[in-house]
Amino acid sequence: MLRESVARAWVAIVLMFIATLFYIWVRFGTAMFGSAAVIAMIHDVLFTLGAMVSCVYIANTAFGRTLMIEDFKINLQTIAAFLTVIGYSLNDTIV
């Protein structure tokens, strides 16, 4: 059941990137802008994920305790935050 959900999620992600690329290609007349938008969305999500991963390592240090950084876990709220980042990135790219 979990493996099937993960596979469906990956298919949805790939289809979303293809649809975004196609829409921007048709809208602006060149595939270069569409591929740049997809790369920017991937970059934004990976940068956010990297910040979360760095917080995991910093949380148990004196620096992390001073800044009150906690160890992050991936849960539904985190997934919603990543979807929000994708939404803002896409909106910023198109608008």
pTM for the full model? Answer: 0.73
The Cβ-side half-sphere exposure at 24, using a 13 Å CA radius, reads: 20
Q: 74 φ, ψ to 5°? A: -80, 120
pLDDT of residue 47: 92
Coil, strand, or helix at residue 70?
coil
Model confidence at 75, in pLDDT bands (50, 70, 90)?
A: confident
pLDDT in tens, 40-63: 888 988 998 898 888 888 888 888
Q: pLDDT tens for residues 81-91?
A: 888 888 888 88
Over residues 1-15, the pLDDT tens digits come to 778 887 888 888 888
